[in-house]
Amino acid sequence: MVNTTNEYVLIAGSISEKTEKQYIDRAHSFVRTLTKSILDAEVGLVVYLAGEPVNENGDPLTFDWTVVNEAEKLMGNYTPAQQLRIITSRSAMQEKMSEERRRLIRKLQAANIADVSYLDDDLITGGNIGDEQVDAATAMIALGGGKGVSDRAKKMRKDKHPILPFDLQLGGICGDGKGALGLYDQFFKEPLTMFPCTGENVKKRLNTLSLQEPCYELGQLSEISVGLLKAEWVTKLSLRSPDVLILTALPVELAAAKKAFDIADDIPPRVTSNGIHFWPTVIQRSDGPITGIVASFAGAGNVNASAITTILLSEFKPKKVIMMGIAAGSREKMVLGEVIVSDRIVYYESAAALEGGGLAYRPEILRPHMSTQQNLNSYFATSSLSARLGERAQIMGFEMPASSQAGNVAAGITVSSATIASGELLIRDPALLESFRSLHDKAYVAEMEAYGVFDACEKQRVPALIVRGISDFGDDTKDDAFHTIASIAAAIITSDYLIHGWVRA
């Protein structure tokens, strides 16, 4: 579940006296369904209560009292948690409200449904009211209105809070600006100014969220709107301290990771202060979502991997790191497309140069943290693993080739643990690959980034795991034919492990 305890939505806007009744009624009906969806999601609402302006037919031209009246009807459905933040003033209560409405405010306050803040009577201006609302809100939904809506949106953008405008042509009570309609047009030009993390995704859906010409029932539209806000909050949180940092080295590996974690190709990357591209993602689990960041070294090698991993650890402070991609495997022990996870990393570069040109290897060996070892032990012991991996492969449209000229091919998506030999050499000599067995008898796999990732994570005490798909045998049959296949296989295992294998601390 997404923790929404401290999230509050401001429904900002107003309606012109000249607006047709069908649009007035539609706007208020939407606000009522929206209020229910927001409260159902355990999110709060911010309102300013004073008098309620109406047109000559008695139709309300603002939305705050609509929200409060609906909240009162629904209050029996919720555990009291001050989900309403009411901003008002003593003079507004005495001079602009009926006794019935004053009693309603006190009723909500006494039931702990509402928290009431009183503005100083001498400071009641449109700007000060807007400041109080924006200070309390973490998201804004805009309907109609004019300069007041635009001003609140400007203040919300400064704090990087999401703003969801609707296209219903309501005008504004003061007729002094475009309000929500101006924000709606701006969304298509600058989506990340409205939803700083997920704006490109929301932009794609904005046309279907029309209130002027609805294609959804109002209840559905309300649910979708709240879902978009929650996705933005989750993603924003993930950028502060994601559950997992998912690392790749090569473009083919990055493409596989994006596919496995549902990051569309046309979603542009975000960029760290150091210029490193990354993509936030949310991974759904039965016990609630976990947040992740996908990034790439944009090149091979342990030195490069260590440097960029260190930068990303400092920037994001993830709880866990997984490096996924491809590797060479021993022809005797491995098959193409097979996936392994690291039970240890052997850094084979450390050595002493002997007289006569010989080398005495002095390998460094690193192992995953105890918590990761426990997680892997339970993951491999799950009887549903094989069937689950097959289903995931089918969903992704992945099928393992039946054969390859380079050697034996895995029958399907399979995963096991192995020791990885990591260094700076691109292996094209099977004898060299075999020689790593003298360093550790289970070193069946060789690659070029694992030690750099592990070393950087060890220094900052962050658990790390390496997931590799076997793309070749490190001999003269080595080519790029199995790179994509092995990358996708590794991505499937990475995704499945994060959903079913990693246990929250």
Q: Where are the domains of the chain?
A: 8-237, 241-500
Closest listed residue to residue 145, CA positions, set 11, 9, 57, 16: 16
- Distance, CA of 199 to CA of 178 (rounded, Å): 21
* Chosen CATH of 8-237 out of 3.40.190.10, 1.10.760.10, 3.40.50.450, 3.40.50.280: 3.40.50.450
As a whole number of Å, the end-to-end CA separation of the chain is: 16
CB 7 within 8 A of CB 44: yes
Q: What's the predicted TM-score (pTM) here?
A: 0.63
Q: pLDDT band for position 150 (50/70/90)?
A: very high
Give me the residues paired with residue 85 across strands.
46, 115
CA 298, 493, 373, 449: dihedral to nearest 10 degrees? -20
The residue among 121 and 328 whose pLDDT is bigger is 328
CATH architecture classification, 241-500: 3-Layer(aba) Sandwich (3.40)
* Packing angle, helices 99-110 and 64-74, rounded to 10: 50
What is the arithmetic mean of pLDDT over 252-281? 91
- Distance, CA of 431 to CA of 440 (rounded, Å): 15
What is the arithmetic mean of pLDDT over 439-457? 92
- Distance, CA of 165 to CA of 144 (rounded, Å): 9
Who's near 351: CB < 8 A, 6+ residues apart?
359, 360, 361, 362
Say what percent of the chain tops pLDDT 90.
71
Give the pLDDT confidence score for residue 407 in this predicted structure: 84
Closest listed residue to residue 337, CA positions, set 225, 492, 224: 492
Give the pLDDT confidence score for residue 442 in this predicted structure: 86
pLDDT over threshold 90, residue 64: yes
Say what percent of the chain tops pLDDT 70.
95
Report DSSP letters for 350-406, one per residue.
-EEEPTTS-EEE--EEE---HHHHHHHHHHHT-TTHHHHHHHHHHHTT----S--TT
The residue among 481 and 250 whose pLDDT is bigger is 250
463 exposure class (CB count in 10 Å sphere: 0-12, 13-18, 19+): buried
pLDDT over threshold 70, residue 359: no
- Distance, CA of 476 to CA of 333 (rounded, Å): 17
Give the pLDDT confidence score for residue 351 in this predicted structure: 67
pLDDT over threshold 90, residue 505: no
- Mean pLDDT computed over every residue of the chain: 91
What is the arithmetic mean of pLDDT over 290-299? 92
CB 392 within 8 A of CB 495: yes
Q: pLDDT band for position 319 (50/70/90)?
A: very high
- Distance, CA of 154 to CA of 148 (rounded, Å): 10
Q: pLDDT band for position 434 (50/70/90)?
A: confident
CA-to-CA dists, residue 352 to 7, 242, 303, 349, 434, angstroms: 59, 40, 20, 10, 20
